[in-house]
Amino acid sequence: MSQPSGQVTAAAPVLLALVRAALRETPGIVRLAGTPTVREGPAITTGPGAAIAFGAAGVVVDCAVVVAAGVRLAEVAATARAAVAAALRELAGVDVAAVNIVIVDVATVEKTRDNG
């Protein structure tokens, strides 16, 4: 049986949802942080923790995250970059030109004293 022809297009908010899900599942990332500014490309779509620009070579994604204290920043960023690119390629069939990770803060556990 043959498959019908046609095209499937994922809307930008869907792509942002995939990006945010990939970031939230990345070990070492505590939360998403604000809305980053995309450095490249036209047609920018933004949302909490991520922004996407659509260009001729594919999408450019900028991500803003807060990481846990004590993690290796470069490793967390590399893992997040790979997870975002894989999610967009495998789940949405989107060509990815670049994934930029901006670590905006390190979450620390506030220690409180018991003065009582």
pLDDT of residue 114: 36
The values of phi and psi at residue 104, to 5°, are: -95, -15
The pLDDT score that the predictor gives to residue 8 is 73
List, in order of start, the domains of the chain with CATH numbers: 12-107 (3.30.70.1350)
CA 97 to chain centre: 13
Judged by average pLDDT, the poorest of 5-9, 24-28, 48-52, 79-83 is: 5-9
pLDDT in tens, 49-103: 999 998 888 999 999 999 999 999 999 999 999 999 999 999 999 999 999 999 9
CB 60 within 8 A of CB 39: yes
| CA–CA distances in Å: residue 23 to residues 40, 56, 84, 106, 108 | 20, 25, 7, 15, 19
pLDDT digits (tens, 9 = 90+) for 97-114: 999 999 999 998 652 233
pLDDT at residue 6 in the model: 78
